[in-house]
Structure 1
Amino acid sequence: MHRIGFLLSDGFQIMALATQTVFECANMVAGEPFYKLDNFSAEGGDVRSSLGMTVGTRPLRTRVAADTWMVAGVNDPLTSPAPADVLAFLRKAAGRSRRIAGICTGGFVLAEAGLLAQRRATTHWAFARDLQKRFPDIRVEDDRIYIVDGPIWTSAGMTAGLDLALAMVEKDLGAEAARSVAHKLVMNQRRSGGQSQHSEMLDLAPKSDRIQDALNYARKNLNRALSVEELAEAVHLSPRQFSRVFTLETGKSPAKAIEGLRLEAARLMIEQSRHPLDVIATETGFRDRRHMREAFLRGFGRPPQAVRRDVRESD
């Protein structure tokens, strides 16, 4: 049995508890209680979440041991430093447990405990710069869903904790078990650690169904040239009207938006497949591998090869 301890503090972000469902479903898939979960806090007793709901916890001062520790974040880590006894406990736990994870801004607690020094780490994008400024000896990567650096795991904000937990299930029980858990959770996709925290579709945020339909059409046909005329015809608008409305609603021209969708799709294929870069370029609508590389440098400041290398290092 693999024991997982969730370390909570007053004001903990309630989304952290959602990751417990990942391990619950993993037990269902495994057909046995492979994971056993407990909630802990510095003093034990009821701990109030960010939503105001209280959760019962066991105190850390008891002789507790866990294979994995999951440290929940808070809504504002800059005003909520971790208690000294929690930091001392985590330093000891680092030598006894298999792994320790910071969920969302829980990474700040690991940093305060000195567990992220000279390591790669991520956190919620809104606090990544603060983490880097406060702890310059950490290699903060603010555009990652989660990062595994040895026994230390960190995740980006909110739902990224689910991806981190799924990755743990895959590590413990295999890829098929993780896929089954994701299916039970009705997750749209399993995101790899190297995937960006940002979504092009969310950034565009069109206001009308027609422009949303045009973007959906584009995403399903990225291997095509996708001219303005084709997109306009798909949503029954004239090319001139389509371009005007599209730019007004999204703040980007159709060409710029489509390139963003191509980049997102190409990056996802690089992270989740072993396809050659030439194949990925063709499948996502770039003229060739060189064209894709130029777009990556514009969009991400890094070539496709560097993205693939990061994913392999995280495995």
Structure 2
Amino acid sequence: MPSKQATASLKGQRARKVVIVGYDGANLMDICGPMQAFSEARFDDGRRAYYLVLASEAGGPITTDTGVILDTVPLNTAAIRSIDTLLVSGGDLDGPPATTESLRTCLAKYVNRPRRLGSICTGAFILADLGVLDGLRATTHWAFCHRLAQHCPAVTVDPDAIFVTSGRVWTSAGVSAGIDMALAMIEEDLDHRTALEVARGMVLFFKRPGGQSQFSAELRQQISGANGRFDRLHHWIRSNLATDISVPVLANVAHMSPRNFARVYVRETGESPARAVERIRVEAARRLLETGHDPVHTVARRAGFGDDERMRRAFVKILGVSPQDYRNRFGRTAKT
């Protein structure tokens, strides 16, 4: 039997209000993924820990990107009572601008009210257009990180993060990353055990190993200069992975002196030649692990790492997972 003090404490716990903002064309999983996670969270006495509201600018039905129609309440109605967390879902960035233009105007009235503000996937663009992310670190779906950085230079974009917290502002990567962010919010609000129980119930990683890099099809944004100056060199590297790829060799291919090459390369790409070669080798190894059945040590040799331990260190550093773990997740057949 709980003590009187504990019983009083339980009765004093109030469900936190979470408002998720949708609109026509919003990603269905951006909305439903976090909602499901929050709805699974319970206080010790079994009561729901969150009160969930799906809102849109005008209320009424919205048609998500899948064609599924969801009913919503007007945002001004949802904002009448205290909001603990306000989350903006993502959607098609190339859709009609009018879809989110008036929504941004409406949202501007409420972004300072919640204790916590966040976005899921490309919802970060809506927050960025409101100036909410200026001076902060943020993320979005890996395919749009470069676009967000160009669109809003005042935002420090982290292309590898699953989610980012900057004070009261949270941003998450694409689609399912909204669930990762919701789990972290539950852990912050309640405790580790509750968040872990929610993750188990949803059959999810509580804290997903690695970052977005392990899911992106290419790392070209990280290994190409803004003006494509070294694209031909990168193609040469990909074709000669098992050979000696030192700075003097690369400089010779680029028809530059080694000293000038190293300096210009860092200036144009933001990373050293050695770092770029390592990334390209990791990308090549990823494809071999995804599509073939060669042993890991053979993949390491074909990708130019020389041995599997050197490749393992590069994978952990860049992707956050080992080569074997990567193959287990993304290979043609999972290991048992």
Fold match by TM threshold 0.5: yes
CA–CA separation in structure 1 for the residues paired with 2:56 and 2:47: 27
Q: CA deviation at 1:162?
A: 1.1
* Residue number among 149, 165, 168 corresponding to 1:148 in the alignment: 165
- Give the letter aligned to residue 290 of structure 2: P
| Per-residue Cα deviation, 1:133-152 (whole angstroms, up to 9, x for no partner) | 11111111111111000111
Partner of 1:99: 116
Matched, 1:46 2:68: no
Matched, 1:207 2:291: yes
Q: CA RMSD in A?
A: 3.1
* Residue number among 10, 23, 29 corresponding to 1:9 in the alignment: 23
Counterpart of 1:95 in 2: which secondary structure?
Answer: coil
* Residue number among 114, 133, 138 corresponding to 2:150 in the alignment: 133
Cα gap change, 1:114 to 1:251, in 2 (>3 Å): farther
Counterpart of 2:212 in 1: which secondary structure?
Answer: coil
- Give the letter aligned to residue 24 of structure 2: D
Counterpart of 2:42 in 1: which secondary structure?
Answer: helix
Partner of 1:19: 34
Matched, 1:69 2:153: no
Partner of 1:166: 183
Structure 1 segments unaligned to the other structure (5+ residues) = 216-227, 229-242, 271-283, 285-315
- Give the letter aligned to residue 142 of structure 1: P
Structure 2 segments unaligned to the other structure (5+ residues) = 1-14, 218-285, 323-336
Partner of 1:312: none
Conserved? CA contact 1:30–1:177, under 8 Å: no
Cα gap change, 1:165 to 1:251, in 2 (>3 Å): farther
Partner of 1:83: 100
- Give the letter aligned to residue 42 of structure 1: E
Larger Rg: 2
Report sequence identity in percent. 31
| Per-residue Cα deviation, 1:23-50 (whole angstroms, up to 9, x for no partner) | 1221277721110111111111110011
Counterpart of 1:206 in 2: which secondary structure?
Answer: helix
Partner of 1:252: 303
Partner of 2:244: none
CA–CA separation in structure 1 for the residues paired with 2:216 and 2:26: 29
- Give the letter aligned to residue 71 of structure 1: V
- Give the letter aligned to residue 121 of structure 2: C
Counterpart of 2:77 in 1: which secondary structure?
Answer: coil
Conserved? CA contact 2:26–2:90, under 8 Å: yes
* Residue number among 44, 49, 58 corresponding to 2:73 in the alignment: 58
Conserved? CA contact 1:91–1:115, under 8 Å: no
Partner of 1:235: none
Q: CA deviation at 1:130?
A: 0.9
Q: CA deviation at 1:51?
A: 0.6
Count of residues paired in the alignment? 236
Cα gap change, 1:177 to 1:251, in 2 (>3 Å): farther
